[in-house]
Chains A and B, each alone.
Chain A
Amino acid sequence: MTTQPVIRLDDVLLVSLHSDMGDEDAIRLQDDIADRVASVAPRGVLLDLSAVEIIDSFLARVVHDMAAVTATMDAVTVVVGIRPAVAITMAELGLDLGGLCTALTVDAGLRELRARDEVRDRERP
């Protein structure tokens, strides 16, 4: 893959996935993110799926594993931008991403990360 899908915004990594990604590209990206999280130690990772036209069980597994690996390094993953048609299809397949944190847009995802920081040890009422 020639494009560089991992961008650093202050203390957040923004990762944009696209639809032409093959299974092996996805696995490579997963490894790449793990390395970047280890070296940058971001507060959070935003996984932008707004350009992704389908999510099958393979990609769902990759997304889930990326988030799990990131969590072990104390960074929160927020999945953003899943399209309605993709979400409907995932629901029908039974892919729920294991309750990952989600947001509508990159902006909303950033807000979500900030809110989590502010109330880190204060639980919701």
Chain B
Amino acid sequence: MQDINVSVAEFLDHHGDEIVDAWQRRTFFAGRTGGDCRAVLNGVAEVVLAGRPEDPTAAGFDAIRDLLGEIAMDRIRRGETAAQTAVTLHDLKPPVVELWTSSRDGDDALPGALRLSTALDTLRLVAMELVGGESADLVEERQQLLELSTPVIRMWDGILAVPLIGTLDSARTQATMEGLLQAIVDQQARVAILDITGVSTVDTAVAQHLLRTVMAARLMGAKCVISGIRPQIAQTMVQLGIDLGDVTTRATLADALAYGLRQIGLVVAAADNH
């Protein structure tokens, strides 16, 4: 199978005209040229291709940092608040993710959507970075963006997943966990999957948060599964003395979903006609 990062980058390239067209009609790019949209899109494609959608310092973002900052500052100078600008940036995500999911139905639909979603969340961070560095308002704003940047995904009726990506710090993990537990209540979920396939390192504080989330979900009446624990991370956890003893774990997100489906009483079977 082709590398998912390559697939997503190629998709952005092939559908460039459609995306630019959609973006030009969004508030954030109002009064801007198609060339500006195209430049931003190229930056996004580059960070996805490089496998660093979560990294605001990736080269692809460097190339468009000034442009994004200039557009954001311009909007704020004309009377928009930082929060409003952040919302107009958020509007850039749905057309891209929808276009991707409507053009895919294979195994890569979900991981691709996650990468796009992450890249566009990071794009917001990059754009807002230059908006008045010291303003306390903005610090809070960034905190909120950070919290928004890890989505809780509804995998099935009653099954939620949180794909954790990149380097986890304690504050972000905690915010994500609180979001997941609230989503369990809101959506009446019976199974919650914490997928850490995309996580590069885990320290004691982060591992503790993961374990506490599993425990808290259990207290609330939901089952929590951790999927995608890579060998290095498993090793770090053992070295840190963290016991995953009675936590349910699965090798991949797909295995965890299969476990979840079984938990809610569904069976996945191959159709007879092929």
Q: Which of A80, A84, A91, A97 contacts B184 (CB 8 A)?
A: A84
A80-B221, A97-B219, A104-B222 known; A88-B188 Cβ under 8 A: no
Q: Is B205 an interface residue (CB 8 A)?
A: no
Collect the chain A residues with CB atoms within 8 Å of residue B19's CB: none
Q: A87-B220, A88-B177 are in contact. Are A104 and B215 (CB under 8 A)?
A: no
A42 to chain B, nearest CB (A): 20
A3 shortest CB reach to chain B, Å: 25
A82:B184 contact, CB within 8 angstroms: no
Q: Are B184 and A102 in contact (CB under 8 A)?
A: no
For chain B, the bracket of interface size reads 10 to 19
Complex CA gap A73/B90 in Å reads 56
Minimum distance in angstroms from B8 CB to a CB of chain A:
33
Interface residue? A105 (CB, 8 A): yes
Query: Which residues from B are CB-within-8-Å of A80?
Result: 221
Smallest CB separation, A79 vs chain B (Å): 8
A91-B212, A104-B188, A105-B188 given as contacts; is B221 within 8 A of A84 (CB)? no
Which of B185, B212, B218, B221 is within 8 Å of A88, CB to CB? B212
- A90–B216 CB distance below 8 A: yes
Q: When the two chains form their complex, are residues A103 and B212 in contact, meaning their CB atoms are under 8 A apart?
A: no
A96 at the interface (CB under 8 A from B): yes
Residues of B within 8 A of A125 (CB): 262
Are the C-beta atoms of B218 and A102 separated by less than 8 Å? yes
Least CB distance from A24 to B in Å reads 25
* Known contacts A84-B178, A88-B177, A91-B212; A104/B184 CB under 8 A: yes
Q: Which residue of A lies closest to B182 (CB)?
A: A84
Does the CB pair A88–B216 fall under 8 Å? yes
Which residue of B has the minimal Cβ distance to A107? B188
**Contact of A87 with B181 at beta-carbon distance under 8 Å, contacts A92-B212, A102-B219 already known:** yes
Provide the residues of chain B in CB contact with A104, threshold 8 Å. Answer: 184-185, 188, 190, 220-222
| Chain A: minimal CB distance from B22 (Å) | 36
Indicate if A108 sits at the interface (CB-CB under 8 A).
yes
Chain A residues with CB under 8 Å of B262's CB are 125
Q: How far is the CA of A109 from the CA of B217 in the complex (A)?
A: 15
Q: Which residues of chain A come closer than 8 Å to B217, judged between CB atoms?
A: 87
CB-CB contacts of A30-48 with B at 8 A, as 1s and 0s?
0000000000000000000
Is the beta-carbon distance between A84 and B220 smaller than 8 angstroms? yes
Q: Knowing A84-B182, A84-B184 touch, does A90 contact B219 (C-beta < 8 A)?
A: yes
| Residues in A neighbouring B185, C-beta threshold 8 A | 83-84, 104
Known: A104-B221, A108-B221. A84 touches B188 (CB 8 A): no
What is the 8 Å Cβ interface bit string for chain A, positions 53-94, against chain B (1 contact, 0 not)? 000000000000000000000000001101110111011100
In order of increasing CB-CB distance, the 7 nearest A-B pairs are A87-B216, A84-B181, A91-B212, A102-B221, A103-B221, A91-B215, A87-B219
**Apart from A84-B181, A87-B217, A96-B215, what 16 extra A-B contacts exist at CB < 8 Å?**
A80-B221, A82-B219, A82-B220, A82-B221, A84-B220, A87-B219, A91-B212, A91-B216, A97-B219, A102-B220, A102-B221, A104-B184, A104-B185, A104-B221, A109-B221, A125-B262
Interface of A with B (CB < 8 Å)? 79-80, 82-84, 86-88, 90-92, 96-97, 102-105, 108-109, 125
**Which residues of B are interface residues toward A (Cβ below 8 A)?**
177-178, 181-182, 184-185, 188, 190, 212-213, 215-222, 262
Q: List 9 A-B contacts (CB under 8 A).
A: A82-B219, A84-B184, A87-B217, A91-B216, A97-B219, A102-B218, A104-B222, A105-B221, A108-B190
